Amino acid sequence: MKERRFVRELLESKQRILVLSFVVGVVFLFLVIRLWHLQILSSDDYHAMSENNRLRFVPVAAARGAILDRTGTVLVSNRPSFSLAVIPQEVKDKEALLTLLSTLLGLDRAEMAERWEKNRSRAKYYPIVLASNISRNHVEIVEENRLRLPGIEIEMKPVREYTSRQLAAHLLGYIGEVSEKELNIAGFEEYNPGDYIGKNGIERALEKDLHGDDGGRQLEVDARGRVLRTVSESYPTVGNSVVLTIDAAVQKQTELAFGVQAGAAVAMDVTTGEILAFVSNPGFDPSLFSGKLPADVWQGYLDDKRHPLENKALSGQYPPGSTFKMITALAGLQENRINDSTSITCNGSYDLGTSTFKCWNKKGHGATNLRKSLRESCDVFYYLLGEKLGVDKIAAAAQAFKLGSPLGVELLNEKSGLIPTTEWKLKRFGKRWFHGETIPVSIGQGAVLLTPIQMVSMTATIANDGTIYRPHLVKRIVDADGKTLRETKPEIIGTASFSKESFKLVKQGMLDVVNAPGGTGGAARQYDVKVAGKTGTSQVVRMGGSKAGTAYQFRDHALFVAFAPFEKPEIAVAVVIEHGEHGGAAAAPIASRILRAYFDGKKPPRKEAAASSQDDDEDTDENVTPAVMKKPGINGEASHD
């Protein structure tokens, strides 16, 4: 019995040993596999995690390039700005930290939490910007409470400084923090949350040139976040600078001439297409958009019926009114419907079927030829001519000037305007064109729409006898060392193929508009330069012209286009005053001031005025009576157009 018992116990012991050995073997095999996985398969991942635990990346933002005018005057530069950032790997209690920051700095806790959440997928050692453009007082509070704010850093970033505040705001544009949507756009892969980016204007259109390349430092830190050494460092590269074609002095005088009136003005070099002044009024302060725009300021912009945020010079589409009569006249001359001796009798209206189309001069202009029709802006002359031509002939003449399509200016969101045709109406409305619809088109009303930049291009093309230059705003791009990287050359984009004799007749009429008795544009006359121009008044609604007491938004627009000198044109201008009613009274004086600023700028400065001219300019310009208040017409004679 004892032997059997011994044998049984021995067998049981062997079974236990086998089971135990199997268990140990399995555990050992698991350990070997795990070690192989950790040390072989995942070694790179864990090495990276180890590095992240002890490394900190400090980004160094690049300064954006400057923006200058054609004379070298700095329009936009940079100033230092502070941002509040957090390094997630050093924060143990996120909620407590956000609450403390909100209490200490008065910042929006929800906004900081949202920024943090949006960037949670980024490396834990990479700083996340919680608030941008914070004040120096905020910086001091953070430094005083640094021991209570683990992981919080202050970053210094350059932001834009607009040296002349609102000057050329729509042209220059503004910058703001890059949005989540923009970060996902192709070409913006190198941008990080919290970076500043151009939002509109030149800042947006030339973002890639202006932005520069950011740098940064890779630091090794201990468990308490103290810097042990710099592992690697890359230096930021300053963005390229942009030299614009505009003249800051002409730009300033143009904006001052508008006063509180809404509208737009563009001045262009007739021989190159360079834009000398680019104004949309009223303006705005672009520096406000670099940080958090105050709610009351934003609401003020939205409530302003003059629409200060709209770039009217580029995107405003207006009926050109009588400034379009030059196109109709050129079409008539080309089609041999009129010549320099053609004369009609204007009795103050024109009847077509059951409709009566009135001239602005209810008494009529009497016997009227081409030259007089432009000088006194006779509507009936063009009603008759338009009926003979038909809308498609007028449209062909307009399209020869590239009207009705974008001209390719460097800025984004350029509008095309509209030149109606029979085909356009059929496609747009599914209806045929009626004969009577041509009548208002012949004087720049009806469906005709042009932008101010198209109006100035049209005027420049007439001035130089048919050469159409692409309007451009950028003169050259230069690097940080002042080396020219690229330069914009004059580009001819078409030719308005009308005879020189036709251009001569139209230009002679435009000369009379400003300089002859009875001309509607006498307010643009200069004492030393011959100016040729054309006034215009365009209806906003069909109400037979503006009357006293008419609500602002229903008043007619006032327009004026001009070029000078008449003998050898250099500059063309186009002015639109929204709801200004009469071009000769409201728009022509502004064009006069633009021309005066341009030609005065070509004169050598007087020595006796050099020392104090800048101070005097600042003291007097703000108090200049708006041009609209000047007495219109020739020798005080009031004019309609």
Distance CA 448, CA 277 (A): 25
Distance CA 556, CA 312 (A): 16
- CB distance 374 to 510 below 8 Å: yes
**3-state secondary structure (DSSP) of residue 266:** strand
Query: What is the distance, to the nearest Å, from the Cα of residue 415 to the centroid of all Cα atoms in its chain?
Result: 12
- What number of CA atoms fall less than 13 Å from residue 566's CA on the CB side? 20
Q: Which two tokens stand for residue 607?
A: 């020595």
Query: What is the distance, to the nearest Å, from the Cα of residue 59 to the centroid of all Cα atoms in its chain?
Result: 30
Residue 99, C-beta contacts closer than 8 angstroms, at least 6 positions apart: 109
- CB distance 590 to 597 below 8 Å: no
Q: What is the 3-state secondary structure (H, E, C) of 504-518?
A: HHHHHHHHHHHHCCC
- CB distance 168 to 275 below 8 Å: no
**3-state secondary structure (DSSP) of residue 39:** helix
Longest dimension (CA), the chain: 150
Q: What sections of 376-485 are H helices per DSSP? A: 379-389, 391-400, 422-429, 438-442, 452-463
- CB distance 569 to 270 below 8 Å: yes
Distance CA 186, CA 183 (A): 8
- CB distance 219 to 56 below 8 Å: yes
Active site residue 322: yes
Residue 213, C-beta contacts closer than 8 angstroms, at least 6 positions apart: 62, 190, 236, 237
**3-state secondary structure (DSSP) of residue 213:** strand
What's at 309, amino acid-wise? L
Distance CA 118, CA 194 (A): 11
Query: From residue 538, how far is each of 209, 455, 581 by CA, in Å?
Result: 40, 14, 8
Q: Which two tokens stand for residue 101?
A: 């920051």
Nearest 5°: CA angle at 508, between 506 and 512? 115
Q: Which two tokens stand for residue 394?
A: 């007028």
Task: For residue 332, report the phi and psi dihedrals to the nearest 5 degrees.
Answer: -65, -40
In DSSP terms, 165 is beta-bridged to none
The active-site residue out of 290, 322, 442, 639 is 322
Question: Running DSSP on this structure, what letter comes out for residue 274?
Answer: B
Distance CA 585, CA 641 (A): 8
Count Cβ atoms below 10 Å from residue 638 Cβ, excluding itself: 12
Distance CA 330, CA 347 (A): 24
Q: Which two tokens stand for residue 121?
A: 């997928």
Q: Which two tokens stand for residue 155?
A: 């970053």
> 418-443 as b/e, with b when 16 or more CB fall inside 10 Å?
bbbbbebbeeeeeeebeeebbbbbbb
Distance CA 474, CA 70 (A): 9
What is the radius of gyration, based on Cα positions, of the chain? 35
Give the active site residues. Answer: 322
